[in-house]
Structure 1
């Protein structure tokens, strides 16, 4: 899961205390040079640098204090250069006061926006916790790690989804990708995740589970169409999905693919694609009659690792427009534990794209212990 450190828009108190010495030094230096200079030399206007610098790292209160110190220094310079009664010094003091007030106002606006952004991030974190619940590091005999890589800086969730749940005979997982972006994609993801968490316990085999998810998702889309009536055309919406069933007692993995990329198996230092011969169409193809959901079984022995992913990984391009070679890169980390594997993979993927993904990506690594 994507983890972000909190940011408040200001520096730590210790760092701020050191940085405040810079504008204070400017005030002392400019004042000393101006007082020592001939009367026709006026360096006082440069004192505006002090509050301007302070605004780059401090809040409105400290900026106001530095601005007041700069105005006091300007008054002191006027006393030594012919008195404050001269028009030139009065204009300089007034101008410095106005500019300092504008800088303080800017700081207040920035602080308000910072608080609003912090609130938005906290809401985003809460939404992420509800939709993409953290997957335990161990599920039965499986060691598990998951990552969500958002394309947008301030986004925590999007159209990619994953979930895992323990059932009577083992562990079941879903990983998918909803078509589209924005609130509609988040709503579709939320519905699929909720439906999977409930239906996974009521169906013995994956085809029946996939069919139940299709019916549930189609009802959801029909309700969305009714809700959007009169608000414009309802765009095409569907979701690719991969359903995984891993029994505790058997060294196998069963998969049902609904238009989703095939998982990769890391076995004996090699990477194998678990292709499905007859993948089903994506979920949400509500007008297709008699959809078949074939299930395939693959060996999944102790020490093996399976990687589940969305197309945000394999379709990530570098500056030369080359796709990320996921299977080739995985050969370097076949012996890594799930958490370490995803850490290597995330770093390498971001290096490939130059530090920023163009589409969300989700990753799950499963190792049978």
Structure 2
């Protein structure tokens, strides 16, 4: 049924944990990656024209101007500029050409043994050597960063593989947007698993950043993959997730900073194949958005519980909410890296308003097209860089005759 403000209320009971809980824990603190398109860098060979043109111009002008005018020191800029984009060999070559040019100027004007030209040549040689050394360091760091990106990509494919495009009557698309340019995987997570009667979905956000967040996300994903098909109901599934995650999270949090605050927000959903509903358990996560009938509705129930890992701290019963999810409707699951993205004026990204403007088109688009539009708009809004990792999952229930049932595959994450 529908509550105030146009928000759908679930059929689950209980006032829920969220009512009296601070926002910090309610939504916690919350890269594939559509975040970065890791395309090869455009060729920089054309940039070599800049130092060589500079050398030629300085040489010609220095020979033609009166003797009291000395332009030779400007040749230092050639190897210095080259070191910013080229390798050590190219930088050394440009430096050598600059030294030859300085020698030509000296011979044309006086002599190489003239102290003024001698000092200029010596200084140019020293600067060229230093620039070549820094070009070597930069190239070494770039190769190291490329290896790290390759490792991150491999880790992502293992920890967070793409969701299946089809699961029974559902069409699914996922996006991972990394806040850090060097990383492709972090604490945000999603997974899907087929059961005998439908599809179960998980989206979550592990507290913290870096390796700790990746470790926590892997723990939740592993527990979900093991238990998603075994447990008969969402209440039991969430209980298994808490049992597997809670002790490890508390131990890690206490060991890290002495404060028992390690937790993972999560949203666990069950979408039956033959019922036009979605059942969900919200563990301190932003509510999903239902796009259908030309409007966008947050699925906020009355029984939002604490994040995984905090059930002992904030005791609450697990409440299963039920919402309508008809053929043609789209569910958008997201982490708060989306809604907390800011523009230059520090205003938050208006996700619901953006989706409302696209509601009519979203009903016709496939989930991948919707997420691509949302990804592009989000990055444009945030100036191309997010302050936090963000994950998005779009699920569309196919209309009659648009999809064919598939046998339950192994859980995918």
TM-score, structure 1 length as denominator? 0.91
Once the two structures are superposed, residues 277-299 of structure 1 have per-residue CA deviations (whole angstroms, 9 ceiling, x without a partner) of 21222211242597422212222
Q: Does 1:149 align with 2:177?
A: yes
Contact 2:250 2:261 in 1 (8 A): no
User: Which runs of structure 2 are paired with 1:29-108 in the superposition (5 Å)?
Assistant: 29-108=57-136
Q: In 2 relative to 1, CA 232–261 (structure 1 residues): closer, same or farther, beyond 3 Å? A: closer
Quick one: which of 279, 290, 294 aligns to 1:254? 279
Contact 2:206 2:264 in 1 (8 A): yes
Contact 1:256 1:294 in 2 (8 A): yes
Contact 1:147 1:362 in 2 (8 A): yes
Q: Does 1:365 align with 2:394?
A: yes
Q: Distance in 2 between matches of 1:5 and 1:355?
A: 11
Q: Does 1:347 align with 2:376?
A: yes
Q: Distance in 2 between matches of 1:116 and 1:144?
A: 35
Query: What residue in structure 1 maps to residue 234 of structure 2?
Result: 206
Q: Distance in 2 between matches of 1:90 and 1:288?
A: 76
Q: In the TM superposition, what is the alpha-carbon distance from 1:99 to its structure 2 partner?
A: 0.8
My pick for the range that moved more, 249-258 or 345-354, is 345-354
1:68 alignment partner, SS class:
helix
Q: Distance in 2 between matches of 1:69 and 1:289?
A: 71
Query: What residue in structure 2 maps to residue 196 of structure 1?
Result: 224
1:20 alignment partner, SS class:
helix
Q: Distance in 1 between matches of 2:310 and 2:68?
A: 82
Q: Distance in 1 between matches of 2:179 and 2:376?
A: 15
Query: What residue in structure 2 maps to residue 276 of structure 1?
Result: 301
Q: Distance in 1 between matches of 2:39 and 2:92?
A: 23
Q: Does 1:116 align with 2:144?
A: yes
Q: Does 1:174 align with 2:199?
A: no
Contact 1:11 1:57 in 2 (8 A): no
Q: In the TM superposition, what is the alpha-carbon distance from 1:331 to its structure 2 partner?
A: 1.4
Q: Distance in 2 between matches of 1:137 and 1:124?
A: 23
Q: In 2 relative to 1, CA 276–28 (structure 1 residues): closer, same or farther, beyond 3 Å? A: same
Query: What residue in structure 1 maps to residue 335 of structure 2?
Result: 310
Q: What are structure 2's unaligned runs of at least 5 residues?
A: 1-31, 399-413
Q: What are structure 1's unaligned runs of at least 5 residues?
A: none
Structure 1 residue runs of 4+, over 6 Å off?
none
Query: What residue in structure 2 maps to residue 328 of structure 1?
Result: 353
Q: In 2 relative to 1, CA 11–340 (structure 1 residues): closer, same or farther, beyond 3 Å? A: closer
Query: What residue in structure 2 maps to residue 187 of structure 1?
Result: 215
2:153 alignment partner, SS class:
helix
Q: Distance in 1 between matches of 2:278 and 2:343?
A: 33
Contact 2:247 2:309 in 1 (8 A): no
RMSD of aligned Cα (Å) = 2.2
Q: How many residues align structurally?
A: 362
Q: Distance in 2 between matches of 1:219 and 1:233?
A: 15
1:76 alignment partner, SS class:
helix
Q: Distance in 2 between matches of 1:295 and 1:135?
A: 24
Q: In 2 relative to 1, CA 57–221 (structure 1 residues): closer, same or farther, beyond 3 Å? A: closer
Query: What residue in structure 1 maps to residue 10 of structure 2?
Result: none
Q: In the TM superposition, what is the alpha-carbon distance from 1:345 to its structure 2 partner?
A: 1.8
Q: In 2 relative to 1, CA 235–247 (structure 1 residues): closer, same or farther, beyond 3 Å? A: same
Q: In 2 relative to 1, CA 6–275 (structure 1 residues): closer, same or farther, beyond 3 Å? A: closer
User: Which runs of structure 2 are paired with 1:295-306 in the superposition (5 Å)?
Assistant: 295-306=320-331
Q: Does 1:20 align with 2:48?
A: yes
Q: In 2 relative to 1, CA 25–353 (structure 1 residues): closer, same or farther, beyond 3 Å? A: closer
Q: Distance in 1 between matches of 2:287 and 2:37?
A: 33
Contact 1:147 1:364 in 2 (8 A): yes
Contact 2:250 2:262 in 1 (8 A): no
Q: In the TM superposition, what is the alpha-carbon distance from 1:11 to its structure 2 partner?
A: 4.8
TM-score, structure 2 length as denominator? 0.81
Q: In the TM superposition, what is the alpha-carbon distance from 1:321 to its structure 2 partner?
A: 4.5
Q: Distance in 2 between matches of 1:177 and 1:188?
A: 9
Query: What residue in structure 2 maps to residue 137 of structure 1?
Result: 165
